[in-house]
Structure 1
Amino acid sequence: MALYEHVFISRQDLSNAQAEGLIEHFGTVLSDNGGKVVDSEYWGVKTLAYKINKNRKGHFAFVRSDAPAPAVQEMERLMRLHDDVMRVLTIKVDEHQEGPSIQMQKRDERDDRRRRDDRR
């Protein structure tokens, strides 16, 4: 099976529990089709760079999975049909990184970022 990372944005008028419920729902879709969810993170409500379906904000969610391609295709198909999901991005990766994603790390823990005055 292949390793994937999925990010999806759901509508801003959902509650936090409903947005996290979407993660569980699509995780069960993966598991029903022979895959498994390795890790999932709820990133919270974030402001979008531009309006999507008249929404200025959205609930962001991140899922790491180990699944066959047909399972991922079925999950993406159901995500695109779901009224609450606005955008979906799936990336195939060689390996999953350990620990939390960059979005979940505290700003001072991100040591790989350079400061603006060090760019020269």
Structure 2
Amino acid sequence: MPLYEHVFLARQDLAQAQVDALAETATNIITEHGGKVVKAETWGLRGLAYRIAKNRKAHYVMLDLDAPAAAVAELERQTGINEDVIRFMTIRVDEHENGPSAMMRRQERDRSDRGDRGDRSDRGDRGPRPDRAPREEMGA
């Protein structure tokens, strides 16, 4: 069967459980039509490059599919009807990417680049920072 990647963007005001339910619905559509979802990734709530239907952010979900064309057509039809999905795109690929997708690797890299910020309690009662001199009083 042909291989596909299906990415959809869900509205920003949905809870994570509702986004997971949308992914589960897409999985059910594919399995009912003789295909299977090889991998599902939730990329989280991310900012959009421009507003789409008054949304500045969206929940991103990617599904790797191994399904016949009829199953993908039905998935796209159902996704287009759903008011919680603001955009979607399905592309045919030669093979699925092994391991996490580029977006997931990027998120992991960003987390590791921040490093350990250490214990923030070194400033005690949040008094003045020792590297700054106190402000002088404004005189006449």
**TM-score for the superposition, normalised by structure 2:** 0.75
2:109 is matched with which residue?
Answer: 107
1:39, CA displacement in angstroms? 0.3
**Whole-Å separation in 2 of the counterparts to 1:75 and 1:26:** 6
1:52 is matched with which residue?
Answer: 52
**Whole-Å separation in 2 of the counterparts to 1:96 and 1:55:** 30
2:16 is matched with which residue?
Answer: 16
- When the two structures are aligned, how many residues end up with a matched partner? 108
> Secondary structure at 1:42's aligned position in 2?
strand
**Whole-Å separation in 2 of the counterparts to 1:51 and 1:11:** 11
1:20, CA displacement in angstroms? 1.2
In angstroms, what is the RMSD of aligned CA positions? 0.8
Same amino acid, percent of matched pairs: 52
Q: Which structure shows the bigger proportion of residues in strand conformation?
A: 1
Q: Highest Rg: 1 or 2?
A: 2
Runs of 4+ that moved beyond 2 A: none
What runs of 5+ residues in structure 1 fail to find an aligned partner? 109-120
**Whole-Å separation in 2 of the counterparts to 1:50 and 1:13:** 17
**Whole-Å separation in 2 of the counterparts to 1:43 and 1:20:** 11
**Whole-Å separation in 1 of the counterparts to 2:109 and 2:39:** 21
**TM-score for the superposition, normalised by structure 1:** 0.88
Matched residue type, 1:20: D
| Greater RCO structure (CA 8 Å; 6+ sep) | 1
Q: For each residue in 1:4-56, what CA deviation from the matched residue of structure 2 results, as whole angstroms up to 9, or x when unmatched?
A: 00110000000011111111111100000111000000000000000000100
2:73 is matched with which residue?
Answer: 73
**Whole-Å separation in 1 of the counterparts to 2:71 and 2:7:** 16
1:38 is matched with which residue?
Answer: 38
